[in-house]
Structure 1
Amino acid sequence: MASRVIVMLLKIQLKPAKVKYVLHRCRGLPAGLAEVEMIERARAKRVWEASLPPLDDLSQLDKRRRMMEAMETKEWAFREGEIHKLQEARLAVLRNLLYQRDRAQTQATAQRLDHNLAQHHRDKESELRKIHRDYILCEKNLPSALMAKRRNVEGRFERRDIVRDHTDHSSETYAPLTRSGSVPDRNHSQTADVVKSCFINTYEGLLELEASLPASVLEPRIKVAKPKATKGFVGRSERREIELMKTHQALKEEKDHVEQSKPLRFLVRKEKPAPMRPPTPRVDEPPEGEEEKELAIINLQKLLRGRSIQYQMFAGKERRLELIQELRTTHALLREEEELLKAETDLILTQKNQRDLQRHKARRDITLAHHTQIYI
């Protein structure tokens, strides 16, 4: 297969270097669809590189730059498409893995439920077997009386045993059955001996009965019990009542007794006189016209003091006039020197900026030439 591909590549008149490049890009033989697309893209890129304007032609530098930008945009779009395809493939793999995991979880849940159901069935069967075994044992060990009662299901006549009925509290003597006859507790008021009289059943009869009764019967008589005479011994309740009575009497006497207020023996209130306010100090008023004179004197003092300071400043200026002239000349020279220094500094900065600009242009040209050689 590899030899056939090599023969085909030689038939389409490819150079050995290009054949080696194609085999290298194919990542082994046979080549698939992705490898073929990669080869076609490489060929198209070589054709595009051959169609680029040369770097020597300065008039077509803009065209070359636009073509390179368009190619770069196309490359980025192709890479985005590849990334999108890769993401779609990864999403498909994730979906498959999630589906397999859910399926495995569902199978595990179903197996667990089946196991639990089988366990419940086994437990149920074991319980049923146990109940059946207990029933058989009870059948074997039933008492003879119960067996006799079971044998007498049809209710055959038997002679009554009075002693047994009275000793057995579950017999009909103590708890008669309704199906056997009447029940004594039902309708007791109708079956019992009840006194029936017209004086009780009607209201007029009650009034007549009340009128026929003597007054002593209608009026209640309540006799107060006399306290028992004690012979030296007093019970607890009597002692408590006596103590309560004494306490009540003492509280009542204390409440009724009002003590009179007694005068103090040791503490005596002393009346203190109210404090006297000291006299307010006063200042004699100045005579008329004195305040105006004082203000005039103060203004005159200010004028004299200011004039004295002004004269001192003028005398100092006259005394140091030569020094002032010298300082003025020095400052003028310093200003000119500062202007010259500033102009020189501006010139140096301008030259530096020009050199930096030229260096940047030269570096950019070198980089552009290097990239062009790489593409070629």
Structure 2
Amino acid sequence: YDYGSLFSDCPCYTVKLDPAEPLPAVTNCQWRGHAEQRQEHFLILIFIFSHLRDNLTSVQINADAEPSHCTVEVQTDYRESETQTDPYSPEYVLPPGRTPPELLLKLASLTWGQGLPAGLAEVQMIERMRAKLAWEATLPPLSDLSQLDQRRRMMEKMEAEEWAFRDAEIQELHDARLAARKDLLKQRDEAQKDVTTKRLNLIYSAHQDNIENQKKKIQNDYMRGMKITTPPSGDEEKELAVIYLQKLLRGRCIQYEMAKGKKNHQDLIQEQRAIYALQNDEHQLQKAEDECVKKEIRHKMCQEEARRAGAVGAELHQLFDTLSKELIRLQEERRIHAFMLLAERDRRLREAEESGRRQVEERRRREEDEIFKHVVQVHQESVDLYLEDIILAALGEKADQQAREEIHRRAKEVNDIAYAMEESRDSLHSEEIVSELIYSFLIPEVERINVQQKVHRKQLKHLQAARAILYGAAQPSGKVHDAESATCVTPESFPQHQLERLSQEEQENEAASPT
């Protein structure tokens, strides 16, 4: 087998295929088949080893709440761009008991190719809808009758803004259409120019081809005439002379016969000449009559054309007159509408100024009322303070006087009782008073001192032990003080804050003990 035909001597070029939809560099374009197969295997294993628990309770699902089937569409990663249809847009389903947002309901009419994917115009529309919803939220409620005028003014202002925005949109559409018409006219002119240029080029090329052909023909004829001819031989000269003589004799014979025939038929020739002369006169008369008839027909056609043009002119005059009147009416209507808008604007400005002046007057009246209230309140407070000071001074003097009288009276009563007790007191009563003083004051004080000494002795033991522990931990050689050095610990050598903490803990323990 000859393998040489399988190869080519032509230079090889690298073939590069551009993707139908170029993806960004961060997107992973590797095949994800292995990962998907792995996920499928994991799902199968989970399904095999999964089991239901016995303690699960069955729940009755409402069949009406969820659809029995759902529509699912799949798009592959590797596809032909020519077979791509509109992307799948799932239906918007709300859970039961939820209210759909108003903005989302207004965007439900957008479909692929008609608003989707969203561009600058759709984003502006969404922003305007959000602004309008925010504006509607700021409107005064209809239940408030005092703000109906403000609500009406706000709605009129919003309506004027909507009309202005709509006029701007219409103007933009008109500008876009005008630009499109201009582009179409420009393209048509360019196409016409291209066709004309092509035609002129064809004519010019044909003319140039004709000139070139003529030049070539002239050059060929010139080159053909420059050829060298050989002289004729003697036999050929004789033959040519005989042929030429025969031609002369034949021509002379024909001339003689023609002259003889002309002479014999001279009368007939004269008669025929006369007839042809008469026919020429008749032809001239016929031509004159035809010219007259043509002139009449042309005149009639001109008259009909003039009448037709007059009728068309009258109709056009009436049409133009109607259009001019309609234009004047529209201009007057626009002017009246402009005057009406100006008058409405002036009226609104006057109303705004009047409302502003009214608000200023009302605010000034409220300020004056508030100032008057504050002044009256200040006067009233001054009077109240003056009366309160007088009343308090009188009450203080009266209470002081009554208190002095009551004190004098009580002191007198106590003195009388003390004098009576002194007069009626004996030795037993005096001893009883002394014993009560001893048991009430002296004995409790002695017991309190004893308790404090006991607590102090207990705290001293704890303090000595803590001092020994602290000094034992502080020595680097690890030596421990003996009992004699431990007995040398005094409360004065221990830190004050630790003594206070230990004494507080001892008191708490004593208080917590049942004894």
Q: Which has the higher contact order (CA 8 A, sep 6+)?
A: 1
TM-score (norm 1): 0.31
Higher helix share: 2
TM-score (norm 2): 0.23
